[in-house]
Amino acid sequence: MGKDVIVACDFSSKEAVMSFLDKFTDCKPFVKIGMELYYAEGPAIVKEIKERGHKIFLDLKLHDIPNTVKKSMAVLSRLDVDMCNLHAAGTITMMQAALEGLTRPDGTRPLLIAVTQLTSTDQERMENDLLIKEPIDKVVMHYAANAAKAGLDGVVCSPLEAGKVHEICGEKFMTVTPGVRFADGDIGDQKRVMTPAEAKKIGSDYIVVGRPITAAEDPVAAYNRCVAEFVG
């Protein structure tokens, strides 16, 4: 599996995302489409970006009863995306059902990764709101191990957790890590950040980078810098 930079296309309309992608004339970055763009434009936006030659990580974080997730994943696999995700909190049974739904009649399927605990959930919220009393890093690793047990390909996690996830779930189990910033860039609302070079050193397989690229004066140069630092 090759390391790659995934550009988080957090735009709210087709016009905005297309005018961003139009800047990339020499390369076709792997892009992440999240809920905002998907709910605004529907499945057509996925097909259109795919037809332009981009790989797509469809970040819809499914979480429902196993049968519903299975059927929804079957629909997403027909959109020909390259990666999609769900919440590990939906249980091993839900994750196994998702994999079944995602697998196409010819046996191929998009990569499937799990969200463990959202980075917006801290120890206090997890204990008080979710009544989970274990330390959060233990919970994250337990959810990652569940995802591996269910047969998933990896997890979304902080680059700070990537090394530990590989220790517990194996080197082949992918870590997809947001929270990446250039050493001389703005941190914004991300709390715990790493540079692309640090994320590479610690063993991230994919970095997800949004604003350092989308809000840059020269997005193509920022993307190329990410690739140079992370992929080398």
Residues that bind ligand C5P (CB under 6 A): 8, 10, 34, 118-119, 156, 178-179, 190, 208-212
For 223: left if phi > 0, alpha if psi spans -120 to 50, otherwise beta; the answer is alpha
Q: Where are the alpha helices (DSSP H) in the chain?
A: 14-21, 35-41, 43-51, 66-77, 92-102, 123-130, 136-150, 159-169, 196-202, 211-214, 219-230
Residue of this chain nearest to ligand C5P (CB atom): 210
Task: Provide the sign of the torsion angle of the four alpha carbons 66, 54, 80, 200, taken in this order.
Answer: negative
The token duo for 174 is 């992918």
Specify the residue, 74 or 89, whose C-beta has the smaller distance to ligand C5P: 89
Name the nearest CA neighbour of 33 among 42, 52, 90, 232.
42
Residue closer to ligand C5P, measured from CB, 73 or 209: 209
Least distance to ligand C5P from the beta carbon of 72, Å? 20
Q: Residue 90 or residue 212: which is nearer to ligand C5P going by CB?
A: 212
Comparing CB distances to ligand C5P, the nearer of 118 and 221 is: 118
Q: Known catalytic residue: 61?
A: yes
CA-based nearest residue to 87, from 68, 109, 60, 67: 60
- Secondary structure (3-state) at 30: strand
List the structure tokens of 210. 């949004």
Q: Which residue has the tokens 């191929």?
A: 108
Least separation in angstroms between residue 94's CB and ligand C5P is 19
Q: Using the minimum distance from each CB to ligand C5P, give the nearer residue, 70 or 117.
A: 117
Q: Which of 3, 47, 50, 61 is catalytic?
A: 61
3-state DSSP assignment of residue 60: strand
CB of 212 to ligand C5P, least distance (A): 6
Minimal distance, residue 85 CB to ligand C5P, in Å: 9
Q: Could you give the residue numbers annotated as active site?
A: 61
